[in-house]
Amino acid sequence: MRSLEFSGHSVDEAIFVGLTEMGVTIDEVEIETLQSETKGLFGIGAKMAVVRLTEREVPLVMEMEQVYRKEKEASFQRREQAPRGRDERSDRRDADRMSRPPRQDQGQRGPEQNGGQDRNPRVNYSREHEPVPVPEEHYDYTEELAKETPCAVFLADLLAKMNTPAPVLAANTDNGLRLCINAETMGLLIGRRGETLDAMQYLVSLVANKNRKEEGYLRVTLDTEGYRSRREETLKRLARKNAVHVRQTGYPIAMEPMNPYERRILHSALQGFSGVTTHSEGEEPNRHVVISPSK
């Protein structure tokens, strides 16, 4: 397992630099703060923050499920790309099978005589396959729309007052308005598990929905450097890993407290996962998802 040290002007910045260089997500590493940042006196004696990131060991069962899923997808692609033509031997075998009388012990059983389904006894129907991940969405962000949107203008002013000025882009989607801070090294604006980004999104949503009683509520999503999609994929991967553990051990697992949006991601990720169920427990802000074995 890799274990590397990184530095930055703050602990959050050092962590962000480390995650970027190692190409991992925050849930895939153990974080150890070796040194916190100090400003010193008039800049004299200032010290950078130093952290150590150590990759967590991935359970073998999770690796095997990933291999199984990849093999299943590759097999499906091969079948789709295979030629549709039939040779003479296949046609001859089908003709012989059609002309052969039915076996006496088999009879003429139809789907209604077989539990409502025409099943193949050699196929195991007890296990449901996990859903294939949905590809990342792309949005048509423009700076022109942002300049015409009051909440986007408010966000740009907010960033300037935070001494982190950056261009703001906007895009209209079926699920509401999306705003994007178009700048690199915005790790300080993301915060721990997106807490800073969520706080700014809350403020922007208040501005966007001011005096909108007749038009209805406008959902606003704030993103930077594709953090939202990366966080969503991390949560889905973490949910599947814990679901495998619950299914094997038979013991429930309580996830860490999350906001309603992230809890919905966990519920949705395990909706088609066999052998487990999910529900939420606790009160805000400590409400969390519990993964339990199916009864």
CATH 1.10.10.10 is the classification of domain 143-225 = no
| CB contact set of 218 (below 8 Å; sequence gap of 6+) | 176, 177, 205, 208, 209, 212
What's the confidence (pLDDT) of residue 207? 92
Query: pLDDT tens-digit profile of 102-129?
Result: 444 444 444 344 444 444 333 333 333 3
Least confident of 154-158, 212-216, 248-252: 212-216
What's the confidence (pLDDT) of residue 268? 92
What's the confidence (pLDDT) of residue 72? 52
CA atoms within 13 A on the CB side of 293: 10
The boundaries of every CATH 3.30.300.20 domain in the chain are 143-225
Between β-strands 288-293 and 253-254, what pairing exists: parallel, antiparallel or unpaired?
antiparallel
The boundaries of every CATH 3.30.1370.50 domain in the chain are 229-293
Residue environment code for 242-271, b if the CB has 16+ CB neighbours within 10 A, otherwise e? bbbbbbeeeeebebeebeeebbebbeebbe
What's the confidence (pLDDT) of residue 81? 59
Q: Which fold has domain 229-293?
A: Ribosomal Protein S8; Chain: A, domain 1 (3.30.1370)
Mean pLDDT of 212-233: 86
The residue count for the chain: 295
pTM beyond cutoff 0.75: no
- Residue 136 above 80 pLDDT? no
**Do 287 and 257 touch, CB atoms closer than 8 A?**
yes
What's the confidence (pLDDT) of residue 158? 93
- Residue 156 above 90 pLDDT? yes
What's the confidence (pLDDT) of residue 60? 38
Least confident of 129-143, 184-198, 259-273: 129-143
The neighbour count for residue 46, using CB atoms within 10 Å, is 12
What's the confidence (pLDDT) of residue 18? 84
